Amino acid sequence: MESARTFFPIGRHSFQPGLKNNQRYRNSFGDLRLSRRYKRMVASMQSRRTGKAYHLGTSRTERAAIYRFLSNDRVTLAELIRHSTQLDTERVTGRDVLCLLNACSISLGLSSRNEVRLAWADECGVINNNRTAGFNVMPSLLLDRNSGDCLGMGDLLIYSRAIASSNKDERDVQRKLREALDIEHKESASWLYSARNTAMQLEAAMRCTFVMDQGGDQYEVLQHLLAQTGAEFIVRSKIDRQAKDLEQERYGKMSYHLSEQPIWDERLTPIRALNHYSKSSGEMVVRTARAAQLELRAIKVKLDKPRQLKKHTPLIDQPLYLVEVRENESTVPAGEKPIHWKLLTTWEVEDKITALQVVDAYRSRWHVEQLFRVLKKSGVDIEKSQLDKPEKIKKLLVMALKASVDAIRLTNVRSGESFVPIEEMFNEEDRKILVKMNVEMSSQGTKVINSHDPESLAWAAWVIARIGGWDGYQSQRPPGPITMQRGLQELDRARFYATIFRGP
């Protein structure tokens, strides 16, 4: 049975720091020089916003040191993940934290003609197309639900998917063997591993809620998550489960229970155009920009355990709430499917206000999608890395994700609705440069002016957005993480020239 297992994730759980006999302190990676190199590389990534190792160094000697670091066997992927996702306990204490979980595939193909990269598929696995070499990552991005402040990553899971057999009969046999495995040995447990690793760092938080898309909607995953973390969850349901309506005391499909509920709220909501490939079907999804008539319903349920699960699988005993957002057919363009979310949650939902809070929390998953945008083609561009080994690219990716969180953080604080001190991201030299840039980026009138507190991170975010290409008009679409990424690159150039002109 063990031979059927193909899921071997690496995350915070994979490295347990410890001291040897008579050892009082251990540097990162067991070496002070490696610890210092790691810090310099992360700082360089945060300022230069690149996923290419060659661009991280300014001299041949520095580049050689970077390549040695990535090649060093003492710099393990597991320890790198642990250091890059280590949270400051003070930053999460007493907060209502949303933990946004989502998976993303990283392609190592680079080019279909690259024979070396094609051979990597046997070594590191493949992405969803079962041909291109690559692996999967699942970061746990943390947000303060009240302020929107990005608190960092609680975990980062990296795992591979083996090449599936071209023979259908063989694939069917392997699938049945995997289905008989314990949940811990299945790829679906990625949600569980990441949740457990994150929850261990959030014991001081007021509340911890895991927000997951349809991939997390699995009975065993939800049951283990509740039992092992004690946290809350919001998951988009993809399965029309059998459940008991706890108010009407009747059994049936969740869709049936919802159809019997009155509409709690109805409103016209502007929807942006969207073209993307569905993760579940692989098909192109086209969504036309429109004002959609959205209807809100909710119900309290208790889930039935699926029949195909093993008898010893524990039950989910606690009641859950099901919140539905469905677009009225009157506003659905011809040939498109209506917007339809069914959100299963542990949060108590008693009225339309609490139901809308669940919807808003799920919508925050957009931030982790933006993180992937920054990481991939629109920002750090990790998939274009020229490194010669998959393991080196994975190490570089871990540090690139840590650096990319900065762009998300600036995006989230841009409104200035909550105060975050500027010194949490920028030092005194940076602030001097930002002050001069702010003067240049502000107009003589009042239409384009930085009205934020100069001591706040929102003030710095305004300047960064302006030098990143944002026009600064309130009527314009707010700057996103890619704009912030470009602005941070411009700030790094300004730092470089300031150092030259300042002299020794």
pLDDT digits (tens, 9 = 90+) for 199-212: 999 999 999 999 99
- Mean pLDDT score of the chain, rounded to an integer? 85
Residue 417 burial by Cβ neighbours in a 10 Å radius (0-12, 13-18, 19+) = exposed
- 189: pLDDT strictly greater than 70: yes
444/440 Cα distance (integer angstroms): 10
Chain position carrying tokens 């988009």: 236
DSSP 8-state symbol, 79? H
384/458 Cα distance (integer angstroms): 32
Q: Which residues of 470-503 are buried (b: 16+ CB within 10 A; e: fewer)?
A: bebeeeeeebbbbbbbbbbbbbbebeeeeeeeee
pLDDT at 374: 77
pLDDT at 484: 84
Contact 52, 385 (CB under 8 A): yes
The predicted model gives 151-176 an average pLDDT of 84
Across 9-18, 115-124, 254-263, 352-361, least confident range: 115-124
The predicted model gives 22-49 an average pLDDT of 79
The predicted model gives 140-148 an average pLDDT of 93
Instruction: Name, of 254-258, 473-477, 500-504, the range with top average pLDDT.
Output: 254-258
Better-scored residue on pLDDT, 350 or 413:
350
3-class secondary-structure state, position 298? strand
Position 231 confidence tier, pLDDT thresholds 50, 70, 90: very high
- 333: pLDDT strictly greater than 50: yes
Backbone phi, then psi, for 262, in 5-degree steps?
A: -70, 160
The predicted model gives 153-175 an average pLDDT of 84
Other CB atoms within a 10 A radius of the CB of residue 181 amount to 16
Contact 387, 421 (CB under 8 A): no
Q: Which residues pair with 97 in a beta bridge?
A: 144, 208
Better-scored residue on pLDDT, 249 or 410:
249
The predicted model gives 314-333 an average pLDDT of 93
- 282: pLDDT strictly greater than 60: no
Better-scored residue on pLDDT, 220 or 283:
220
Position 164 confidence tier, pLDDT thresholds 50, 70, 90: confident
The predicted model gives 393-405 an average pLDDT of 86
Other CB atoms within a 10 A radius of the CB of residue 245 amount to 20
- 436: pLDDT strictly greater than 50: yes
Across 17-31, 46-60, 64-78, 271-285, least confident range: 271-285
Nearest in space to 209 (alpha carbons), one of 98, 87, 320: 98
Give the tokens for residue 480. 């996103």
Residues 6+ apart with CB under 8 A from 217: 235, 236, 237, 238, 239, 344
The predicted model gives 346-374 an average pLDDT of 92
- 136: pLDDT strictly greater than 60: yes
Contact 291, 269 (CB under 8 A): yes
Position 299 confidence tier, pLDDT thresholds 50, 70, 90: very high
Position 72 confidence tier, pLDDT thresholds 50, 70, 90: very high
pLDDT at 214: 93
Contact 154, 231 (CB under 8 A): no
- Beta-carbon-side half-sphere exposure of residue 300 (alpha carbons within 13 Å): 12
300-318 pLDDT per residue, tens: 999 998 888 877 788 999 9
pLDDT at 382: 63
406-417 pLDDT per residue, tens: 778 888 888 777
Other CB atoms within a 10 A radius of the CB of residue 25 amount to 5
pLDDT at 386: 67
Position 404 confidence tier, pLDDT thresholds 50, 70, 90: confident
Other CB atoms within a 10 A radius of the CB of residue 44 amount to 20
- 12: pLDDT strictly greater than 90: yes
56/47 Cα distance (integer angstroms): 9
Helix (H) or strand (E) holding 223: helix 219-229
Radius of gyration, CA atoms only, the chain: 24
pLDDT at 1: 44
* CA dihedral for 146, 475, 294, 325, sign (positive or negative): negative
**Residue 243, CA distances (Å) to 110, 211, 238, 319, 393 in order:** 47, 21, 14, 10, 45
Position 335 confidence tier, pLDDT thresholds 50, 70, 90: confident
- 156: pLDDT strictly greater than 90: yes
Residue 362 burial by Cβ neighbours in a 10 Å radius (0-12, 13-18, 19+) = buried
